[in-house]
Amino acid sequence: MIAHMKIHIPVTDHANFSFAECLVFLSRSDKECLHEVDGNILRKVIVVNGNPVLTAITDAPQKEGLQVEISADADNIDTNYIKNYITHWLHLDADLHPFYKFAKKDGVLSPLIQQYKGLRLIGIPELFEALTWTITGQQINLSFAYTLKQRLIHAYGAAISSGNKTYHVYPQPATIAKLEPADLIAMQFSRSKADYIISLARAMAEERLTLAHLQSLDYTAAREYLISFKGIGNWSANYVLMKFSRYWQALPLEDAGLHNALKQQLQLPAKPSLAEIKGYTQHWQQHAAYATFYLWRSLQQ
């Protein structure tokens, strides 16, 4: 029997929150299969104590938060886990005042915070997903990266059906750890990416790479910890620390999207060099993650 309930999730700094802007970013690929944007409703399956729970998230501005309708074939669903998961994913506990104060005085960022006011830094809520997504997306266009992600999820992730739709869950490290590179190469992952993804899965399954240890570290130590694993470089580490670990100073300096966005916003004749990127971004400091994210948003037409 399917149980239904509704919960409320408060949003910090609600005056600087726009669910509509978040939905625009979440709609950037029609190949996305881990969540669904249906008008003003955001749907996602969250695994709670081994049980897949379908959530339908809507705006509740009069209550300065979000409303979540939960559908699950289980009793005693841990609603606090769901609240924390969605809060982390959509960065609902962020105070944007310091970033907006900084950005107002910045020639590049000032127009972006006006155009996309209320956009939160949409994260990746699972560590394994964040790590493997950085590897999947290396040196290929975003569309093909989503194609590879979709193939991996459909082949090895759990799924539930509701109505006439199927909702997917990202594969667990223990599942991918059992694979051989040939399994992923058959999906058009490169040999090196297949090796790296399986290596990371085994590191997590064997508890050589753990969430608990990562969370115990400051930014610099966390970056070095991630880089110590095969396949994770400076860009990948900073991407994960930005999108999963929520370090505000994380800056994926080598990111091609960041370079293209700065080229557009600064109206440069050519893509800037890495040294020039460092010059343009060195003053961002603790605002680097949000500055990067708003520049990424500027590329989305």
In sequence order, which residues have a C-beta less than 8 Å from that of residue 99 and are 6 or more positions away? 113, 248, 287, 290, 291
Distance CA 111, CA 178 (A): 48
Residue 267, judged by CB atoms within 10 A of its CB (0-12, 13-18, 19+), counts as: exposed
Specify the amino acid at residue 66. Answer: L
The beta-strand segments (E) located in the chain are: 3-10, 35-38, 41-48, 51-60, 65-72, 159-162, 165-168
Specify the amino acid at residue 243. Answer: K
Residue 265 in contact with residue 83, Cβ under 8 Å?
Answer: no
Intra-chain end-to-end CA distance of the chain, in Å: 42
Query: What residues act catalytically?
Result: 255
